[in-house]
Amino acid sequence: MEAFEASESVANTGTGARREGEDFERLIARFWQCFRRVAEAGGAQVSVVAGVGTRRYAKLTVGTRSMFVPTSASDGVTHPNAEQSRWLEVVFGVNDLIAAFPTEAEVIRKYAPESGPYAGAQYPTIYSGLSTKFDDTVVLVDGGVLREKIMMEYKTAKSSAGRQIDGNAHERLSFQIMQYLEVATRYTKCSLMVMANGAFIRYRNKYHVNFHVQADRLTNFAWFSMEHACTATEYTRFLSGLLSWLFEGTPRTTGINR
């Protein structure tokens, strides 16, 4: 994953038209498969539960602690009639987020334009039916109580010239960080983990340092925690923290406060 390198930019190819992200996500899927095998080898009990849509999660259980990690959509669900847990949600409707804060009435009063098709009471139709989707989630539960929900984002960067990261690759991540701040308040503890390729440390860029600066600033607010991993050492640290929590009950620490 660290060594993953996206191909050079192609003229007249729009954002989202290239498939490097899918290649990287296949590596991520293998990453979680390896994690599951390590947990099973250590004695964790495993079942498969349904998530949103076709998503599947391996439920790894040791004593009173259970951890839900992504697994293949082709895995058969252990208990197909079980109710899907809302803790596994990765898609959040804009209407639902706004209903919690600041409320529809407030957005109309404060943000609605004075004229045009979305003026006044019509303003909610500008975002009605739209949603924010995270790439995946990992959920930690102890004694039937949610201890932490980790929102996962998978991100690749590239350098067409081999010197500096291309500057058009990070708009979605910036928006996801803002949306994470809204989603996190729905849970007792919710963090954001960005799994990225090593381009962020191979080439000049402003993103790597500033993500960490933003994460440091958020440590002033107990509700929020962000991490960024783009090296084998950082991936390993993240997985080791998950395993320590699962097998020993050791509180998981983020990359910021280690």
Residue range 6-54, pLDDT digits in tens: 765 555 444 444 555 688 888 999 999 999 999 999 999 999 999 988 9
Phi/psi at 153 (nearest 5 deg)? -125, 135
Whole-number Cα distances in Å, 28 to 34, 35, 70, 216, 230: 10, 11, 10, 26, 12
pLDDT at 222: 82
Segment 146-177, tens digit of pLDDT? 999 999 999 988 888 888 888 665 667 888 99
The pLDDT of residue 209 is 92
Chain segment 219-241, per-residue pLDDT in tens: 888 889 999 999 999 999 999 99
What pLDDT, on a 0 to 100 scale, did the predictor assign at position 82?
A: 79
pLDDT, residue 230, reads: 94
Helix (H, G, I), strand (E, B) or coil at 240: helix
Percent of the chain past pLDDT 70, that is, above it, reads 90
Sheet holding 226-229, edge to edge: 45-50, 56-62, 65-71, 136-142, 145-155, 190-196, 226-229
- As a whole number of angstroms, the distance between CA 115 and CA 83 comes to 45
The segment with the largest mean pLDDT, out of 61-65, 70-74, 158-162, 218-222, is 61-65
Neighbours of 120 (CB within 10 A): 12
What's the pLDDT score for residue 258? 44
Q: DSSP characters for 193-235?
A: EEEE-THHHHSB-SHHHHHHHHHHHHTTSTT--EEEE-SHHHH
What percent of the chain is modeled with pLDDT above 90?
A: 64
pTM above 0.85, yes or no: yes
Residues present in the chain in total = 258
- H/E run at residue 171: helix 171-184
Greater confidence (113 vs 161) lies with: 113
Task: Please give the pLDDT value at position 20.
Answer: 59
215 against 246, higher pLDDT: 246
Helices and strands (H and E) in the chain: how many: 7, 9
Phi, psi of 183 (to 5 degrees): -65, -40
- Compute the C-alpha angle 238/244/246, nearest 5°: 105
Domain ranges for the chain: 20-90+134-248, 91-133
